[in-house]
Amino acid sequence: MKTHVSRFAIEWAHCDAAGIVFYPYFYTWFDQGTERLFKANGLGYDDLKREFGVGGMPLLETGATYKNACKLGDEVELSSWVDEWAAKTFVVAHRLNHADGRPALEGFERRVWVIPDASSPKGMRAIPVAEQAIARFID
């Protein structure tokens, strides 16, 4: 599976009063990692809509396991990849490491492939993930 890697530094705005990352930022970075992974494989949100009619990839479940705290000024590397494809859903795995290789955390997002549907109470409905899209993530 193809992996997208982002490198960045922990900034003041990411931290709580103790100087460690406030946990919601990890979920922001997961979301950014997913978007960048899809975009790197030719499936940015505009591409998804144009090619497959997909109106989004809403979250169904998320989680993280914390290993070593991230602190102000730390350099980190976020790796993101699709770990599992199912009929209408997929799991994006994320691994955040410190620049020295120490693991910071591992996380995941379970998402669903949806199209707009005005007749649905939620305004959208799940559809099968297109095989042509899945093929873009295989080495």
Query: Would the pLDDT of 139 be above 90?
Result: no
Task: Read off the pLDDT of each residue in 3-20 and give the average, rounded to a whole number.
Answer: 97
Mean pLDDT along residues 5-10: 98
- Which H or E run contains 89? strand 89-98
Domain encompassing residue 66: 3-135
Give the CATH number, domain containing residue 64: 3.10.129.10
The whole-model pTM stands at 0.95
**pLDDT digit string (tens) for 30-54?**
999 999 999 999 999 999 999 999 9
Q: Is residue 1 predicted with pLDDT exceeding 90?
A: no
Whether the per-residue pLDDT at 66 is higher than 90: the answer is yes
Residue 24's contacts (CB-CB under 8 Å, 6 or more residues apart) are none
93: left (phi over 0), alpha (psi -120 to 50) or beta: beta
pLDDT band at 72 (very low <50, low <70, confident <90, very high): very high
Question: Where is 104: in which H helix or E strand?
Answer: strand 103-112
Task: Note the pLDDT tens digit of each residue in 94-118.
Answer: 999 999 999 999 999 999 999 999 9
Q: Give the pLDDT confidence score for residue 91 in this predicted structure.
A: 98
Q: Into how many domains does the chain fold?
A: 1
Residue 85 has pLDDT above 90, yes or no: yes
pLDDT for 12 beyond 90: yes
- Let me know: does 14 contact 21? Beta carbons within 8 Å: yes
Q: What angle do CA 127, 54, 89 make, to 5 degrees?
A: 45
Q: Are 76 and 9 in contact (CB under 8 A)?
A: yes
